[in-house]
Amino acid sequence: MFEAFSLPFFQKGLIEILILAIPAGLIGSWVVLRSLAFFSHAIGTASFPGLVLADGIGFSPALGAFGAAGFFAGLTALLGRSRRASNDSVTALVLVGCLAFGVILASDVFGSTASVDTLLFGSLLSIGTSDILLAAAAAVLAVATTVLLGHRWLARGFDETAASRVGAGAAWLDAVLLLTVAVTVTASLNAVGALLVTVLIVVPAATVRLFAQRITTQLVASVLLVAVLGSFGLWLSYQTDAPPGATIAVVSGITFGLALGVRSLGRRGGRIAAATALVLGAGVIAGCGGSGSNGDQLKVVATTTQVGDFVEQIGGDRVEVTTILQPNTDPHDYEPRPSDVKAVADADLVFRSGGHLDEWANDIVADSGSGAEVVDLSSGLPVQLEGEEEHEHAHEEEAAHSSESEAGHSHEGEAKPAEEEGHEHGDEVDPHWWHDPVNVIAATKEIDTALSEASPDNASYFSERTASFDKEARELDRQIAACVKQVPASERKIVTDHDAFGYFTNRYEIESVGTVIPALTTQAEPSAGDLADLEQTIKEENVKAIFPESSVSPALAEAVAEDTGASTSYTLYADTLGPEGSNGETWMSMMKANTDSLMLGMTGGQTDCFGTVG
Amino acid sequence: MSSKPDPRDDTAASQGDAAVLARHTELGYAGQPVLSGLEFEIPTGTRVGVLGPNGGGKTTLFRALLGELTPLGGTLEVNSTTATVAQTDRSRLDYPVSALDVAVMGTLGRLPWWRRPGRRERKRALGALEKVGLADLAGSTFGDLSGGQRQRVLIARALTADAEMLLMDEPFTGLDNKSEARLETLIDELSSSGHTVLIATHEVEQASRWDLVLCLNKTQISFGDPAVALSKPVLEATYGGHIVEIPGQPDLGVLPAHHHHDH
Ligand SMILES: Nc1ncnc2c1ncn2[C@@H]1O[C@H](COP(=O)(O)OP(=O)(O)OP(=O)(O)O)[C@@H](O)[C@H]1O
Ligand SMILES: [Mg+2]
């Protein structure tokens, strides 16, 4: 039950949380004593625009976060001083501004990307040396300021009016405190993320506050409590396979609840009861732990559901495949779980889909201390389309382009359709390559090669399976092409709210008329202008169906359908396969389901190809 | 720290032994006067009862004396280092500090920012606690003390800060008879050791035992020796009843009956 402690990624997470315990406990105590809890939460959230900026321009995310946090702290201090408004309302005001600014930056200026998400949510399972150094720097700062200024912060928190009489009232004291809070929050971002950072800082200190009678007790006990809750939560997340940040948050919350209950029972008996409850809880959870694994098989990790399916098709019963993403989850929201990192740590091979869909794969491999070879299936594919534009004006050009030219770009077979407009910024390759069977056939060849190298004894087994899969895939490709041809070229027009179908429409000569969400990611928000343009196009081109992507809320697509009369009854699988038992549980069935949905949509429900859509 | 007099500025101190001197003073918030017509001179070492109804301006006057408010009109000279003894129900009872910790806070104003209070400061604080009769409770948690004891800890903090003038805003609220008596004795002791003490209170009877009274109700109703200044019409004007206009320069007390008829 303690094997976790021997894993490199777990050890790094543990070191990180133990170091972070120092600034979190110390500064958390001041935050609680000075009623700055809301402020520190706001600082965490307000670092968001900084993260987006750092990611977009390309400097260190920590610097971006700290810049934004520092700016936020400064602005709050300034506004709080010049007006007599309550601190919380000022904080809320600045916070809303920062968030709005971040969202605008993310959706309109830069396309939002995966690394921003990692920082919004963070993970103790992907801690690097720089994170540990940052935590150590925050620890040094927290200790230094507490030793030097603690007495004055204490006096000022005791009663502010009188404090100004006893020389503790200088505004710079508060400024230093806010700044130290900002540094601590920034240092904690990578571990628990901007949204949970308050839990790490505020909740343990607030728990101690219920019992502490002296400031020294408060400070020391808070540091210890963060250390205990943090390492317990980390270990528990490993045992239960939940995200560590959230686990620590839950454990802290429960502890606070217990403490509150116990506090009302009386001080002394309470402490014993709390300790008992904690030990009991730990015992129960430990009892549930434990796992077994199969010895001989080749251990392989696949990042996405479709890559997992390909590897299973080729590997058969000779490989044990762990797929990290779950069906119908948005890859952009992925947060690594302990089991993922552990699977990677144990793996012989890691297959990734490539592009921004699973950018995090290389980090996990590095952090897990795994020696696994990473095979990026997107490199060397026969059909490569360029990624969509990320800038707003580019979308407008694109929409104009596709509505002007009736013979649209997707009618030209396997050429690069995005090339006419894509050159200024679009150097990214569209990562949804598996929607073209030609690419899938090439990818399975690569999987075959990699598996055979890793396990030469099974090489002929893998080759046989590859050959039969490829045959099926070719047959499927023919069937789809023949079926789609039933619809006259001028009526092969679709609208989808996700840009994932470029490869499919390109392969089968279907025109994609605009998109509801004009970006590659599902996180960008469309502007009112984009929507109006789109609805205009739908009406002009007489598009009959809109296809909401299965893993994205269809609300927006439905809104457009309502305005234009086009149907939204059919859905497409875009980023992931469907769950087990659905009509998209394998790549083959997913392709059939998508074809049927497209056909039904384009023909007003008249024609399908495989009868997979009920 | 703003209202500390410059120690080199002898003229202020030599003007007499006035701890506070108010001339045509008008106080208020955001340019709106709430208290006007202040005309008084408080000699050093006196006990002054500040009377007035709710909203009469007592706390406003104290805030001005602390330098938190600048007068809208007239002048308000403060020639003493001043400390406030806030109402204890406003301080934070769950704060993790001992009585000694609170008393030590008084020393911070005289220490440079990088210095932490050391043994010398703790000794001073203990001495102050002894003066207010709390030496044996120095190690208790502040929030566990009784209201009267907390009041005295705050006085000890003012003493550690070397305050020459203490402002007590309704210090008797919520005290039992014994604590009240103790606090009254302490006020007497402070005054005889040279401290000026201003006490905002609603107890007319109590105020009449001190050296001076200041009656406020949006304007200064009267000021002076309680025997003279606490007449029935003054009390009526202070606590409702008729509104008495105070004309001209009633430097040393007013003659309320006279002015009452005058109008
Ligand atoms: N911060 C403030 N901003 C604006 N007006 C204020 C402020 N504080 C007090 N006032 C107003 O000033 C007037 C005097 O208030 P003050 O608190 O000085 O009265 P008080 O004599 O201390 O009353 P109490 O006996 O209730 O403590 C009141 O009308 C009050 O509404
Ligand atoms: Mg008052």
Q: Which domain CATH number covers A509?
A: 3.40.50.1980
Residue A441 maps to a domain = yes
Q: How many CB atoms lie within 10 A of CB A37?
A: 18
Q: Assess whether B169 and B242 both reside in one domain.
A: yes
User: How far apart are the CA of B88 and the centre of ligand 2, in A?
Assistant: 13
Report pLDDT for B115: 87
Mutate to test the interface with A, among B113, B116, B151 (most CBs of A within 10 A): B113
Q: Assess whether A358 and A464 both reside in one domain.
A: yes
Q: For A158, which of B68, B91, B114 is closest by C-beta distance?
A: B91
Contact list, B114 vs chain A (CB under 8 Å): 148
C-alpha angle A387/A393/A399, rounded to 5°?
A: 70
Q: Assess whether B108 and B236 both reside in one domain.
A: no
Query: Domain with B221 in it: what CATH number?
Result: 3.40.50.300
From B27, B38, B60, mutation site for ligand 1 pocket: most ligand atoms within 8 A of C-beta: B60
Q: Assess whether B94 and B73 both reside in one domain.
A: no
Q: Assess whether A574 and A468 both reside in one domain.
A: no
Per the structure, the count of domains in chain B is 2
Range of the domain at A122: 3-287
List the structure tokens of A119. Answer: 């920082």
| Chosen domain end from A446, A475, A504 | A475
Residue B66 maps to a domain = yes
Rounded to two decimals, the pTM is 0.65
B32 lines ligand 1 (CB under 6 A): no
Would you call B83 and A162 a contact, using CB atoms and an 8 Å cutoff?
Answer: yes
Residue B3 maps to a domain = no
For A243-264, the DSSP string reads: -HHHHHHHHHHHHHHHHHHHHH
Q: Which amino acid is at B182?
A: R
Q: Assess whether A219 and A143 both reside in one domain.
A: yes
Q: How many CB atoms lie within 10 A of CB B116?
A: 14
Residue B182 maps to a domain = no
Residue A213 maps to a domain = yes
B87 lines ligand 1 (CB under 6 A): no
Q: Assess whether A329 and A360 both reside in one domain.
A: yes
Residues in CB range of A410: below 8 A, 6 or more apart: A417, A502, A505, A506, A509, A510, A511, A512
| Chosen domain end from A287, A319, A353 | A287
Residue B44 maps to a domain = yes
Virtual torsion, Cα A267, A268, A270, A275, nearest 10 deg: 130
Residue B213 maps to a domain = yes
Q: Assess whether B170 and B252 both reside in one domain.
A: yes
Dihedral angle sign, alpha carbons of residues A380, A384, A389, A394: positive
- How many beta-carbon pairs under 8 angstroms link A with B? 89
Q: Assess whether A36 and A169 both reside in one domain.
A: yes
Residue A293 maps to a domain = no
Residue A81 maps to a domain = yes
Q: Assess whether A252 and A306 both reside in one domain.
A: no
Q: Assess whether A584 and A440 both reside in one domain.
A: no
Q: Assess whether B105 and B35 both reside in one domain.
A: no
B55 lines ligand 1 (CB under 6 A): yes
The Cα–Cα gap between B144 and B157 comes to 17
Q: Assess whether A220 and A321 both reside in one domain.
A: no
Residue A129 maps to a domain = yes
The Cα–Cα gap between B209 and B5 comes to 30
Report pLDDT for A447: 95
SS (HEC) of A432-496: CHHHCHHHHHHHHHHHHHHHHHHCHHHHHHHHHHHHHHHHHHHHHHHHHHHHHCCCCHHHCEEEE
Q: Assess whether A188 and A257 both reside in one domain.
A: yes
B68 lines ligand 1 (CB under 6 A): no
**pLDDT beneath 50: ranges in chain B:** 1-15, 242-263
Question: What ligand 1 atom has the least distance to the C-alpha of B63?
Answer: 18
SS3 A428: coil
Q: Assess whether B146 and B169 both reside in one domain.
A: no
Q: Assess whether A467 and A515 both reside in one domain.
A: no
The Cα–Cα gap between A61 and A52 comes to 8
Q: Assess whether B211 and B247 both reside in one domain.
A: yes
Least Cα distance to A237 among A17, A19, A40 occurs for A17
What is the distance in angstroms between the Cα of B89 and the nearest Cα belonging to chain A?
Answer: 11
Atom 17 of ligand 1: nearest residue by CA position: B59
How far the first Cα of chain A sits from its last, in Å, is 47
User: How far apart are the CA of A246 and the centre of ligand 1, in A?
Assistant: 47
SS3 B211: coil
Per the structure, the count of domains in chain A is 3
Which residue is closest to A217 within chain B, CA to CA?
B96
DSSP letter assigned to residue A572: B
Report pLDDT for B173: 82
Residue A481 maps to a domain = no
Query: Domain with A105 in it: what CATH number?
Result: 1.10.3470.10
Residue A611 maps to a domain = no
Residue B11 maps to a domain = no
| Chosen domain end from B106, B141, B163 | B163
Q: Assess whether B199 and B75 both reside in one domain.
A: yes
Q: Contact, B216 vs B40, CB < 8 A?
A: no
Residue A480 maps to a domain = no
Q: Assess whether B91 and B61 both reside in one domain.
A: no
What is the distance in angstroms between the Cα of B31 and the nearest Cα belonging to chain A?
Answer: 14
Q: Assess whether A274 and A304 both reside in one domain.
A: no
Q: Assess whether A307 and A435 both reside in one domain.
A: yes
Range of the domain at B25: 17-80+165-174+195-263
Residue B186 maps to a domain = no
Report pLDDT for A417: 38
Residue B184 maps to a domain = no
| Chosen domain end from B163, B187, B216 | B163
Q: Assess whether B201 and B244 both reside in one domain.
A: yes
- Contact B205/A at CB under 8 A: no
Mean pLDDT by 10 residues, chain A (614 residues): 74 92 95 78 74 73 78 72 52 64 62 51 74 93 95 84 57 83 84 76 89 94 96 88 82 87 66 56 44 62 94 92 82 72 86 85 78 88 74 37 38 38 51 93 95 92 94 95 89 76 89 56 54 75 70 59 74 85 91 91 85 82
pLDDT, tens digit, 9 for 90 and up, residues B182-222: 899 999 999 999 999 999 988 888 888 999 999 999 999 99
Q: Assess whether B75 and B97 both reside in one domain.
A: no
| Chosen domain end from A287, A310, A325 | A287
The Cα–Cα gap between B171 and B87 comes to 6
The Cα–Cα gap between A227 and A16 comes to 10
Q: Assess whether B170 and B260 both reside in one domain.
A: yes
Report pLDDT for B254: 34
